[in-house]
Amino acid sequence: MHSQKLTLRCYAEQESESLWIAVCIDLCLAAQGESYCEARKRLDRQIDSYIFDAIDGEDQRDADQLLHRKAPLSNSSNII
């Protein structure tokens, strides 16, 4: 399989003193943590798992659709 560049749009925001939310807009994934680093690490693990499943796992036949779909419009207002 040829290696391809995949650009994902993600952001994180602090909801309260001890709650951070990290979101990957393009894959519709989200994670939370008590700090930015924790939320980011959790989101990174979700992204890794998602991409693995799309490329090497159960979802191989749908990989192109899963990895190149457009972000839902409802999330686009959060992009700065």
Spatial separation of the C-alpha atoms in residues 68 and 7, rounded to whole Å: 10
Instruction: State the total domains in the chain.
Output: 1
Q: Is residue 5 part of a domain?
A: no
Domain that holds residue 55: 10-75
Q: Is residue 2 part of a domain?
A: no
- Model pLDDT for residues 28-80, shown as the tens digit of each residue: 999 999 999 999 999 999 999 999 988 888 878 888 888 877 776 555 555 54
Q: What is the pLDDT of residue 2?
A: 60
Q: What is the pLDDT of residue 25?
A: 93
Q: Is residue 1 part of a domain?
A: no
Q: Is residue 4 part of a domain?
A: no
Q: Is residue 80 part of a domain?
A: no
Q: Which residues are CB-contacts of 63 (< 8 A; sequence separation ≥ 6)?
A: 54, 55
| 9-35 mean pLDDT | 96
